[in-house]
């Protein structure tokens, strides 16, 4: 300590600008690769998409000139019922997936946090769906969902003794989104589970010991030690899951293509449809800008929430 | 041992270097295509035989999956990597030609091949503005009504043998109702909703029902969709199909595409493509009946068009590209594979060699449709939006939505795109 303190004035004795300048070059040099990559692959495309959103640019170059249309694309999007449907659907999806996926993740994390034999093996097993490709999961679940003789319907029919009619999981507008919620939650909960496990491990054992000495039972320890200790984890998991939910695409593209009756149309799917199928790149860019703003608002709310919880 | 391995490695690298050098001197022909694994390997074989016949040419095949073909093509355009020869879905031809990516192929392809084309094949490769030919195929396609003989006999249905005695709408709907009550029939008809809601199948197979009912996806002289797609005839036709779905007569989307020949034969009829025959006949044997599409108005209509071959404007060797296309279309083994795949003839010589489609053949009635009822999908550069909007409307209607409002929305969307592109000149002057 003393050594450092005595050394500091010596450094400070050098002219401030010179020291700063050499450090500045160093810092710029270290930042440069990251900044360059981010600029090329993130910032420039992002600004370009803003610009494209203001034009009628088609996907494939055409003989007609590209025109500046101002906010025309945005106005058209806001007038399109399908866009509002897709936004509503994504909100519905988020509303359902949050309790299902986070609840599942939390429950398994609590379970796997216990001291038990083969704990790491179980942790690995429960994490397996998360490292399986969503495409593969969709194809497999597509078969499970089959109507009227798929495995799910057979199990339900068997358990109910045939009293429950087979469910058209993906073909019934009332069921399709819920079915997608089920498979999405199953595929992705592993990530949240890991985050929860990390959160659980970061709660010091001393707190539990102190609670025990104070005579707290298991439930009381859970409510008064575990839950407060996990507060930042909860917020983080909720926000991450929400943002992911807003980007729902793969499952829909593979299983339902937005149907039936637009009940699973999502914002990203709507964007891909207008950009690639209908070849309206400008229009699709405008959708992407809107989606960006929505996700941005959510991210800002996240910061606010995190601050409130003193993280 | 060690020495031998080293030697062989050395030789391999020398050989590699040698091919590298010779490849540079050769003309490279890029051919973009789609297709299932069987076709992919067939194209590989064709390419090899073409290379053997033309030692100075290297054929490089570029595979793009069927479902993402337009996306892949767009990406190729954007990165200026257009192939020389490309397979394309016939209804997208107008869009590609209008955008300037295809060149007329009459001067490039052998005259005997051109003379061999059926009228429907010429129609699918012709651009309506200059009436010139931009693409050619060995095959074409159609949709017919397959029936299960046992079920049809059980209800005493009349079995039409030729296009002219196709079922009328009353007959057809009457049979659907009767079939629904037959033992063993779970669904009277499969319209292959299982292909999905975002597939060309919708426009391809259901479009002719509209045309037979007396309307169309778009007016083919004014190129306006409002007034055509949302006309009473179209609303009536799609409301009719909606009723079939509501009555539980149609195989649901989530039940796959094999209910016609699956165990117990749950579907009595199938509104299916010619390619469905091979698979269905293999398991149904003599129980399969092939009938023309029913008439939903005074005249019948049937779809046509398939994946055909065009030569891009980016090609530096259009003559060699033309040579490749001619070579492939005449190639015996290519034709053999198409025959085995129950390929629908687009060339007359191929028709003569296809017992399936020849007079008296099981699919003769399908081939008869080509000359009598075939209607090409609208040859307009706005086709990508036309088909996308129609698919959306059909999904809406089949799931209980109001036909009039769904079709009006689709028509408005199509017209909006055409307006946005200044009418796709010179299509706006084609009155």
- pLDDT for A6 equals 45
Task: Tell me if A259 and B253 make a contact (CB, 8 A cut-off).
Answer: yes
C-alpha span between B251 and B320 (Å, rounded): 47
Q: Looking at the predicted structure, is the pLDDT value of residue A224 above 50? A: yes
- Name the domain count of chain B: 1
In this predicted model, what pLDDT tens digit does every residue of A120-139 receive, in sequence order? 898 889 899 999 999 999 99
Residue B300 located in a structural domain: no
- The answer on pLDDT for B267 being more than 60 is yes
The full set of domain ranges for chain A reads 16-53, 72-308
Examine residue B133 and state whether it is found in any structural domain, yes or no: yes
Average pLDDT of the segment spanning B8-12: 51
Quick: pLDDT tens for A167-202: 999 989 999 999 999 999 999 999 999 999 999 999
pLDDT of residue A222: 92
Mind listing the pLDDT tens digit for each residue in B108-150? Answer: 999 999 999 999 999 999 999 999 999 999 999 999 999 999 9
Q: Cα distance from A60 to chain B (closest Cα, Å)?
A: 5
Bridge-based pairing of strands B344-345 and B187-190 is: unpaired
Query: With contacts defined as CB-CB under 8 Å, which chain A residues touch B395?
Result: 258-262
Number of Cβ atoms within 10 Å of the Cβ of B54: 17
Helix axes of A176-201 and A119-131: crossing angle, nearest 10 degrees: 140
- Nearest-CB residue to B254 (from A58, A169, A277): A169
pLDDT in tens, B276-296: 998 899 999 899 999 999 999
In this prediction, residue A18 carries a pLDDT of 64
Percent of chain B with pLDDT over 90: 81
Query: Which chain B residues have a beta carbon less than 8 Å from that of A82?
Result: 392
| Each residue's pLDDT tens digit, A278-308 | 889 999 999 999 999 998 998 888 778 777 7
| DSSP calls for B143-154 | EEEEEEHHHHHH
Mean pLDDT of chain B: 91
Model confidence at B98, in pLDDT bands (50, 70, 90)? Answer: very high
Q: What is the DSSP secondary-structure string of A265-283?
A: --HHHHHHIIIIIS-BHHH
- Is residue B358 domain-resident? yes
**pLDDT value for B20:** 46
With a CB cutoff of 8 Å and minimum separation 6, the contacts of A251 are: A134, A138, A180, A183, A184
Residue B106, domain CATH: 3.40.190.10
Report pLDDT for B242: 97
Hey, is A171 helix, strand or coil? Answer: coil
pLDDT of B339 strictly over 80: yes
* Calpha distance A268→A248 (Å, rounded): 7
Give yes or no for residue A59 having a pLDDT over 90.
Answer: no
Say whether B197 and A171 touch across the interface (CB within 8 A): no
Among chain B, residues having any CB pair with chain A shorter than 8 Å are 70-71, 73-74, 77-78, 98-101, 196-198, 252-256, 384-385, 388, 392, 395-396, 398-401, 409, 416-417, 420-422, 424-425
Facing residue for A168 by CB, picked from B98, B252, B424 = B252
Which residue segment(s) compose the domain that B110 sits in?
A: 27-140+305-375
pTM over 0.80: yes
| Cross-chain CB nearest to A278 (options B196, B384, B396) | B384
From residue A85, alpha-carbon distances to A132, A174, A297 in Å are: 30, 14, 20
Q: How many residues does chain A have?
A: 311
Token pair 């992911």 is found at A244
Asked if pLDDT for residue B23 goes beyond 70, the answer is no
Tell me the mean pLDDT in the region A17-21.
67
> B202 versus B13: which is more confidently predicted?
B202
- Per-residue model confidence (pLDDT) at position B58: 95
Dump pLDDT digits (tens) for B140-193.
Answer: 999 999 999 999 999 999 999 999 999 999 999 999 999 999 999 999 999 999
Quote the percentage of chain A above a pLDDT of 70: 93
Residues of A in contact with B416 (CB under 8 A): 76
Q: What pLDDT band is residue A115 in, cutting at 50, 70 and 90?
A: confident
Beta-sheet pairing, B307-312 with B135-136: antiparallel
Mean pLDDT of chain A: 88
Listed by number, the residues of chain A in 124-153 with a beta carbon closer than 8 Å to a beta carbon of chain B are 145-148
CATH superfamily, domain A72-308, is: MetI-like (1.10.3720.10)
How do strand B307-312 and strand B85-89 relate by DSSP bridges?
antiparallel
C-alpha to C-alpha distances, A262 to A65, A81, A177, A258, B102, nearest whole angstrom: 33, 10, 10, 5, 35
Cross-chain CB nearest to A147 (options B252, B395, B398): B252
**What pLDDT is stored for residue A232 in this prediction?**
85
Beta strands in B34-186 (DSSP E): 57-63, 85-89, 102-103, 135-136, 139-140, 143-148
Sign of the alpha-carbon torsion through A127, A130, A133, A135 = positive
* Dist. CA B203–CA B246, nearest whole Å: 21
For B35-77, the pLDDT digits (tens) are 989 999 999 999 999 999 999 999 999 999 987 787 788 888 8
Residue B230 · residue A149 · CB < 8 Å? no
Average pLDDT (B10-26) is 52
More confident: B96 or A9 = B96
Query: With 50 as the cut, is the pLDDT of residue B2 above it?
Result: no
The pLDDT of residue A14 is above 80: no
Q: Is A264 on the interface with B (CB under 8 A)?
A: no
pLDDT band of A17, cuts 50, 70, 90: low
Kindly provide the ipTM of the predicted complex, given to two decimals.
0.81
CA distance to partner chain A, nearest, from residue B385 (Å): 5
What's the rounded Cα separation, in Å, for the pair A124 and A71?
50
The count of other CB atoms within 10 Å of the CB of residue B290 is 22
Give the confidence band of B16 by pLDDT, cuts at 50, 70, 90. very low
Whether the link from the prior residue into A148 is cis, omega within 30° of 0, is yes
Give the number of other Cβ atoms within 10 Å of residue B349's Cβ: 16
Q: What residues does B270 pair with on adjacent strands? A: B146, B190
Residue A303: the pLDDT is 76
pLDDT for B33 equals 96
């Amino acid at each position: 300590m003393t050594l450092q303190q005595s050394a500091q004035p010596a450094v400070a004795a050098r002219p401030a600008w010179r020291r700063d300048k050499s450090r500045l070059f160093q810092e710029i040099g270290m930042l440069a690769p990251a900044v360059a990559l981010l600029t090329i692959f993130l910032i420039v495309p992002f600004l370009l998409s803003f610009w494209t959103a203001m034009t009628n640019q088609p996907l494939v170059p055409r003989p007609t000139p590209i025109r500046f249309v101002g906010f025309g694309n945005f106005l058209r999007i806001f007038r399109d019922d399908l866009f509002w449907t897709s936004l509503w659907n994504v909100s519905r999806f988020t509303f359902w997936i949050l309790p299902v996926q986070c609840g599942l993740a939390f429950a398994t994390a609590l379970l796997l946090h216990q001291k038990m034999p083969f704990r790491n093996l179980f942790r690995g097993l429960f994490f397996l769906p998360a490292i399986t490709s969503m495409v593969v999961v969709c194809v497999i679940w597509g078969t499970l969902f089959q109507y009227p003789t798929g495995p799910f319907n057979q199990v339900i029919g068997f358990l109910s003794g045939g009293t429950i009619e087979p469910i058209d999981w993906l073909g019934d507008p009332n069921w399709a989104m819920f079915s997608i919620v089920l498979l999405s939650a199953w595929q992705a909960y592993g990530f949240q589970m890991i985050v929860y496990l990390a959160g659980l491990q970061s709660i010091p054992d001393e707190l539990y010991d102190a609670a025990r000495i104070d005579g707290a039972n298991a439930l009381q320890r859970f409510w008064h030690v575990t839950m407060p200790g996990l507060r930042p984890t909860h917020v983080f998991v909720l926000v991450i899951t929400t943002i992911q939910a807003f980007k729902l695409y793969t499952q829909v593209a593979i299983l339902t293509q937005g149907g039936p009756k637009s009940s699973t149309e999502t914002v990203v799917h709507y964007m891909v449809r207008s950009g690639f199928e209908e070849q309206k790149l400008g229009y699709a860019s405008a959708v992407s800008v809107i989606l960006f703003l929505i996700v941005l608002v959510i991210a800002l709310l996240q910061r606010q929430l995190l601050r409130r919880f003193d993280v | 041992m060690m020495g031998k391995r080293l030697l062989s490695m050395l030789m391999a690298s020398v050989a590699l270097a040698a091919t590298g050098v010779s490849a540079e001197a050769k003309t490279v022909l890029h051919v973009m295509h789609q297709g299932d694994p069987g076709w992919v390997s067939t194209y590989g074989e064709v390419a090899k035989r073409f290379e053997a016949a033309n030692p100075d040419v290297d054929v490089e095949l570029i595979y793009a999956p069927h479902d993402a073909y337009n996306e892949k093509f767009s990406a190729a355009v954007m990165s200026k990597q257009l192939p020389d020869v490309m397979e394309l879905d016939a209804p997208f031809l107008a869009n590609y030609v209008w955008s300037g990516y295809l060149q007329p192929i009459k001067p490039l392809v052998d005259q005997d091949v051109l003379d061999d084309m059926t009228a429907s094949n010429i129609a699918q490769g012709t651009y309506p503005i200059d009436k010139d030919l931009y693409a050619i195929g060995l095959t074409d396609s159609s949709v017919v009504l397959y029936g299960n003989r046992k079920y049809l006999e059980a209800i005493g249905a009349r079995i039409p043998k030729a296009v002219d005695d196709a079922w009328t709408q009353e007959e057809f709907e009457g049979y659907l109702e009767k079939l629904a009550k037959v033992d063993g029939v779970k669904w009277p008809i499969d319209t292959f909703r299982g292909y999905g809601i975002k597939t060309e199948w919708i426009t391809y197979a259901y479009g002719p029902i509209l045309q037979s009912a007396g309307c169309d996806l778009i007016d083919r002289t004014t190129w306006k969709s409002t007034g055509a797609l949302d006309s009473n005839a179209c609303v009536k036709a799609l409301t009719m199909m909606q009723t079939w779905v509501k009555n539980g007569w149609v195989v649901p989307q989530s039940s796959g595409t094999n209910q016609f020949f699956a165990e117990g034969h749950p579907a009595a009829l199938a509104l299916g493509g010619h390619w469905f025959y091979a698979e269905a006949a293999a398991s149904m044997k003599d129980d399969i009946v092939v009938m023309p599409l029913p008439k939903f108005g005074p005249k019948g209509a049937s779809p046509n068009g398939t994946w055909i071959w065009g030569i891009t404007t980016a090609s530096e060797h259009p003559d060699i590209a033309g040579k490749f296309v001619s070579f492939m279309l005449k190639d015996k083994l290519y034709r053999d594979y198409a025959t085995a795949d129950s390929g629908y003839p687009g060339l007359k010589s191929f028709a003569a060699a296809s017992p399936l489609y020849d007079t008296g053949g099981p699919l003769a009635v399908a081939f008869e449709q080509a000359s009598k009822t075939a209607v090409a999908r609208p040859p307009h550069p706005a086709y990508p939006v036309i088909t996308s909007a129609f698919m959306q409307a059909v999904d809406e209607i089949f799931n209980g939505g109001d036909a009039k409002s769904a079709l009006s929305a689709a028509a408005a969307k199509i017209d909006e795109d055409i307006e946005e592109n200044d009418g796709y000149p010179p299509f706006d002057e084609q009155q």
